[in-house]
Amino acid sequence: MVHLSKNSRLGDIIDHPVGHDMCYRLLLMLGLNPLLLKNPLLRRLRFRTLAKLSHGQLDDAFMDSFFHLLNIEKDRPVNKMGEPTTAWWKEATIYQIYPRSFCDSNADGIGDLRGIINKLDDLKALGVDALWLSPIYRSPDDDNGYDISDYYDIHEDFGTMDDFDELIVELEKRDMRLIMDMVLNHTSDEHAWFQEALRDPKSPKRNYYFLRDAASSKSVKSEDTPSQECGDLSPPNNWTSFFRGSAWRYFPEEELWGLHLFSKKQMDLNWESEALRDEIMEILHFWLKKGVSGFRLDVINYISKAEGLPEGNETIGAMLSFYGIEHYVFGAKLHEHLREMQTRAFTPYRAFTVGECPGVGREMSKLLAGEERGEMDLVFSFDHLENPGFTRWDDYRYDLDYYKHYMINEQEALGSNHWMSLFFENHDNPRMISKVNPDPHVREQLGKLLALLLFSMRGTVFLYQGQELGLINEDFRSMDDIRDVESLNYYREKVAEGNEDQGWRDILAGSRDHARTPYPWDDQPHAGFSPVTPWIESSSSNRSNHLNAQRADDNSVWHFYRKLIDIRRHHKGLVYGDVKFVKKKKRHYWACYRTYGDKRYFIEANLSDKPIKRPTGNPEGRLIISTHSSQKNLLQPYEAAIYEL
């Protein structure tokens, strides 16, 4: 096994899975084209030469952290040849529901399980095979359910366990499956485990979390990461939270520090505790026994934290604006923990798993979800959601040519033992149409183009509620319209820095609330979501694009999605077929062939808002679906089509 160091050549670093994905991220952050990784000249450079060029930015401390992270991983991905094996979850269209905002059945302004049950026929009509529900467990809702206080109970806002059991029955009747969101990196501070851990130093639960004695914790002060509420004490290390500020919360009565990578009320779990892992297996069994088909595992790549919770590297911290990430993004025991869940819980039920893995790219994903690895089935990674040089908070036009090259890169580099998740939206991101082009005139065409790009690639398609209606970002008027803890903390920090206006612009570009507003059903008050004022409100541009109107219009975005789902069901070549892009260099032009047995397909699209010349002339074959009624030689703005050859 090669041991990587600053004397290694970039080529060897890029051939290492963690090295590859970290360098990819780095280039994205620097606003550089990640295709540079393939450059032979660059590959020959030694890392220390590159570091010298960075004017001391990539100092020795940085290199120590970086190579430490790389050298933890001893395995290398294998790419198998041939056809992929078949599986229900590869063919399925999986639809994510944000339960608070889907349908309110009891007029309290909050969506609920009965609301979902009432709408199952609409989802069936669209053609979805499985639902993924964002968390519905008991929770004080500091982070809308991603802070669980009881894994064995249903949130009272959402209904009862009887409602849940009924949902399972109603789904089965319709031949649909259920995938639960499972949050195992942290619990709510109101979870009984945490309460006991805090109160009782002798309790075994104390070891379920990262609780540190204030008296014994180091007292070096870090100016960069002030902790808000603890007088002159300093936190055990300099790690910062994804929701701003120190990742440590001080509990003055107990004189303890508790680690939270997310909000102050989301306390990180210590997977080193065997008793905790036993509890987790029990939770998984509980839901699997009820008949759920699998799990979406929230930030699952963060569960293995470096022993001793060492200081985060300053350079990495400054670069990412999060300190400490290298100590948990791909921890030493991650594979072991995933395998334990696989053998003890998932395999006995043949359950499906998709791990949400921020910071993980293509090569690391192969190690987490390669068929031969015994870890998970699929990974959500996020390198395609922003263009190089931009973050979610930036107001910019997303260039779909970046997506094209990203997809080429992914699809060509995966073996038949790998499978990718295909998605543009979820509850953590603004709407994709708005990112690409907010011009209302192109909204429908663009919605259809994005749909076709998703459904014509090799992978599993995940839709987020409202995407099938072509919903766009909300026109929030002020911070009074915003509910999300991340946005609220972010804005507060901007105000404290004196950047109030910038803060508001950032919220308008990147707030997670854009995707969390009520689903528009019909022309009733509040678009039929609820008879009363909902917990968060949507704008008229989304309310008027409701499902009812779209079902009545054969040309709607909804019908386009419905047709695509149906086509995929009848043309397995679009699911499993081999992918070959052509005319890759032609800007704004997307063209690829899919081959599966004796079936062949051609997919063609214009990624821009201007007409472009068809470089191939009029394609042969039978047109299966198109966004426009096709014209010769010219592709209309955002035109896209699939042909069977």
Residue numbers annotated as active site: 298, 356
Task: Find out whether 90 and 126 touch, Cβ atoms under 8 Å.
Answer: no
What is the Cα–Cα distance from 267 to 463, expressed in whole angstroms?
30
Give a three-class secondary structure readout of 455-502. Answer: HCCCCEEEEECCHHHCCCCCCCCCHHHCCCHHHHHHHHHHHHCCCHHH
Among 95, 250, 262, 424, binds ligand TEU (CB under 6 A): 262
Least distance in angstroms from the C-beta of 214 to ligand TEU: 26
Stretch near Ca ion under the rule CB under 5 A, chosen from 26-34, 99-107, 195-203, 543-551: 99-107
Question: How many residues bind Ca ion, per CB under 5 A?
Answer: 5
Least distance in angstroms from the C-beta of 179 to Ca ion: 22
Per the structure block, which two tokens stand in for 641?
């089509």
The secondary structure of the chain in percent helix, strand, coil, rounded to multiples of 5, reads 40, 15, 45
H-only helix segments in 54-107:
60-72, 88-91
H-only helix segments in 512-572:
540-543, 547-552, 557-570
Per the structure block, which two tokens stand in for 409?
């890169």
Question: Which one of ligand TEU, Ca ion, none interacts with residue 106, CB within 5 to 8 A by kind?
Answer: Ca ion
Q: Does residue 299 interact with ligand TEU by CB under 6 A? A: yes
Question: How many residues bind ligand TEU, per CB under 6 A?
Answer: 12
Amino acid letter, 423:
F
Among 58, 66, 99, 104, binds Ca ion (CB under 5 A): 104
Nearer to Ca ion, 122 or 196 (CB): 122
Question: Which one of Ca ion, ligand TEU, none interacts with residue 183, CB within 5 to 8 A by kind?
Answer: ligand TEU
Nearer to ligand TEU, 140 or 358 (CB): 358
Nearer to ligand TEU, 62 or 262 (CB): 262
Q: Does residue 146 interact with ligand TEU by CB under 6 A? A: yes
- Give one DSSP letter per residue of 307-346, joined into a string: TT-PPPPHHHHHHHT-SSGGGTTT-TTHHHHHHHHIIIII
Among 5, 39, 71, 106, binds Ca ion (CB under 5 A): 106
Looking at residues 159 to 218 of the shown chain, list those that interact with ligand TEU (rule: CB under 6 A). 183
Closest residue by Cα to residue 225 from 306, 310, 317: 317
Least distance in angstroms from the C-beta of 265 to ligand TEU: 11
Stretch near Ca ion under the rule CB under 5 A, chosen from 105-113, 167-175, 499-507, 621-629: 105-113
What is the Cα–Cα distance from 99 to 178, expressed in whole angstroms?
13
Q: Does residue 118 interact with Ca ion by CB under 5 A? A: no
333 burial level (CB within 10 Å; 0-12, 13-18, 19+) = middle
Looking at residues 549 to 588 of the shown chain, list those that interact with ligand TEU (rule: CB under 6 A). none
Q: Does residue 425 interact with ligand TEU by CB under 6 A? A: no
Q: Which H helix or E strand runs over 13?
A: helix 10-14
Question: Which one of ligand TEU, Ca ion, none interacts with residue 311, CB within 5 to 8 A by kind?
Answer: none
Angle between helices 60-72 and 17-29 in degrees, nearest 10:
140
Among 21, 112, 143, 639, binds ligand TEU (CB under 6 A): 143
Q: Does residue 486 interact with ligand TEU by CB under 6 A? A: yes
- Residue where the block lists tokens 């500020």: 245
Nearer to Ca ion, 105 or 434 (CB): 105
Question: Which one of Ca ion, ligand TEU, none interacts with residue 386, CB within 5 to 8 A by kind?
Answer: none
Task: Find out whether 412 and 608 touch, Cβ atoms under 8 Å.
Answer: no
H-only helix segments in 255-325:
274-289, 314-320
H-only helix segments in 333-413:
334-341, 347-349, 362-369, 400-413
Among 73, 112, 386, 639, binds Ca ion (CB under 5 A): 112
Among 291, 358, 611, 619, binds ligand TEU (CB under 6 A): 358
Among 163, 375, 428, 468, binds ligand TEU (CB under 6 A): 428
Using CB positions, name the residue nearest to ligand TEU: 146
Among 158, 208, 242, 330, binds ligand TEU (CB under 6 A): 242
Query: Could you tell me which residues are beta bridge partners of residue 246?
Result: 240
Residue numbers of the site for Ca ion (CB under 5 A)? 104, 106, 108, 110, 112
Residue numbers of the site for ligand TEU (CB under 6 A)? 143, 146, 183, 242, 262, 298-299, 356, 358, 427-428, 486
